[in-house]
A = this chain, B = another copy of it.
Amino acid sequence: MTRAEECPEEFDPTRLLTPRAREVLEAARTLLERDGWAALTMRALADELGIAAPSLYKHFASKDALKSQLVAVGLKDFGEALRPVTSVAALVRRYREVAGANPELYRLATHGPLDRDALPPGLEDWSGSPFFEATGEPYRAQALWAAVHGMVILELDGRFPTGSAPKATWDELANHFS
Interface residues of A (CB under 8 A from B): 110-114, 124-125, 139-140, 142-143, 145-151, 153-154, 157-161, 165-166, 168-173, 176-177
Among B110, B143, B154, B161, point to the contact of A151 (Cβ < 8 A): B143
A/B interface sample: 25 pairs, CB < 8 A = A110-B159, A112-B157, A113-B157, A113-B159, A124-B161, A125-B161, A139-B166, A139-B168, A139-B172, A142-B160, A142-B165, A142-B166, A143-B147, A143-B170, A143-B172, A143-B173, A143-B176, A145-B150, A146-B150, A146-B154, A149-B150, A149-B153, A153-B153, A176-B176, A176-B177
**Once the chains bind, are A147 and B173 in contact (CB under 8 Å)?**
yes
**Once the chains bind, are B161 and A146 in contact (CB under 8 Å)?**
no
